Structure 1
Amino acid sequence: MPSAAGSRLPLALALASTALLSAGCSTTSAPAPQVIVPEIPASLLTCSPEPAPPAADADDAGLALWIVELRRAGQDCRSRLSGVRVWADQMRQPGG
């Protein structure tokens, strides 16, 4: 017949195991992660307006000036888009 001390050891191990396993079933949950949505700087979200086309009777100089202004507005938008790209790349960096 097993001794009294020998029969208590498996019971003690079973109770200790149960206590350790039930600690993993805690009702306390981890805090919900915070979602931070960075805002794109407003200066990068607005482009120069496209110039209105010249009148139908505009001369070559008027047409050339319109083309220059049109290209300037397009370059402004491309430049700002590039700024958004740089900003987004910085946000992806650790600590961005």
Structure 2
Amino acid sequence: MNVRILLPLIIVSALTGCQTIKEVPVKRIVERKVEVPKSLLSCSAEPVAGSVWITQRDVARYLVQLAAAGEDCRTKLAAVKRLVDAQ
């Protein structure tokens, strides 16, 4: 067989074996600034504990106000988390 004819065929077949047809998608990276409303950046103030509580009602009112302040912070933090997770 003629080597001059056979050698180019071998080279061409070897090169086509290395060729890929798989397309690789390019991911587009988009940075977005998360804007958190100022109303979500501060919590209700913690109530001041009384130095002299005369009745159990005074203590109960303080505990209710303390729980309300904590709930306010937890609610606002959950809203901020939803905003950040949505991005």
TM range (shorter): 0.5 to 0.7
Aligned pairs (5 A) from 1:1-96: 36-91=32-87
RMSD of the TM alignment (CA)?
Answer: 1.9
Distance 1:34 1:89, change over 3 A: closer
The letter of the residue matching 1:62 is: D
Higher-RCO chain (CA-CA 8 Å, sequence separation at least 6): 2
Aligned in 2, Cα 1:86/1:36: closer, same or farther, shift over 3 Å? closer
Shift in CA distance, 46/72, structure 1 to aligned 2, threshold 3 Å: same
TM-score by length of 1: 0.54
Q: Is the 8 A contact 2:34 2:84 kept in 1?
A: no
Query: Would the aligned equivalents of 2:49 and 2:62 in 1 still touch at CA under 8 Å?
Result: yes
**Identical pairs, percent:** 34
Q: Point out where structure 1 has 5 or more consecutive residues left out of the alignment.
A: 1-32, 92-96
Deviation at 1:38, TM superposition (A): 2.6
| Whole-angstrom distance in 2 between the partners of 1:62 and 1:41 | 35
Long gaps (5+) in structure 2: 1-28
